Amino acid sequence: MGTKRTSNDQVHASAKKKPNGHWSKGLLSSMADPDLIVEEDDLMTVIKDKYPKAEIHYLILPKEDISDLGKLQKKHLALLEKMYACGNRIVEQNPNYEIRLGFHAVASMSRLHMHVISQDFNSQCLKTKRHWNSFTTSYFVPASSIISELENNGCIKRISSKTAESMLGTPLKCHKCSLEPKTMPQLKMHLITHSKKGS
C-alpha cells in the first residue's frame, strides 16, 4: 500500500489549521494529519489512534464518505476485505502481540473505521468502564463477522441504543480470566499480572 503524501501536502496542511467542528468529526482531520498517517492509497487511510487504548492501536478508514456500519452496502464488500487484509498485515508485523480487528457496534466518531488493537490495553488513555467495555464485550464486533454479515445479508443490522448502553454498562471483567474488579485502577493493576506472565 503506497503513501501519497506529496500529492496531499496542501490538504494535510489546511486540515491541521482548520478544525472540523464537532468532536465526532475529528477522524476527518486525523485522516489528513501527517503525524498520524501510517499509510494510505486511493481507497483507504491507516492512522495511529490519537488516543490509543493499547500499545498498538490503529484505525483503518475508507476514503469514501461512509459514516458508519449502517451505511454499508454489498458494493462495499471488496473495500472491507481490503481493509481487513491491511489489518492482518499489521498483525503479521507484530508477532509478539495478540491483536484483534473489529468495529464498535455503535461508533461515536463519524466515518467508518476498523480498529486494529492489541489486547494488552496498556494505555493512559484507557480510563473508563465504557472504554473497556467497548473493546472487551460484544460491543466490539470482529471485522470477519461484519464482512460475513454484509456478504450474506447485503447490509449490517443496527443494534438498539438500549442494547448498546447495556453492553457498555456491563460490570468490569478481565478479558483474560474471571476476575471482576470494582474499579478501573484495580483492573489496570491486574492487567499487569497478565503481562508479566506473558499470557
Q: Which residues are catalytic?
A: 113
Burial of 188 (0-12, 13-18, 19+ CB in 10 A): middle
* Cα separation, 116 vs 100, whole angstroms: 6
Q: Are 50 and 38 within 8 A, CB to CB? A: no
Q: Given the C-alpha cell 489489518, which residue does it identify?
A: 87
Q: Strand pairing of 37-40 and 99-104? A: unpaired
- Alpha-carbon gap, residue 97 to 94, rounded angstroms: 6
How many angstroms separate the CA atoms of 139 and 107, rounded?
10
Measured between its terminal Cα atoms, the distance across the chain in Å is: 32
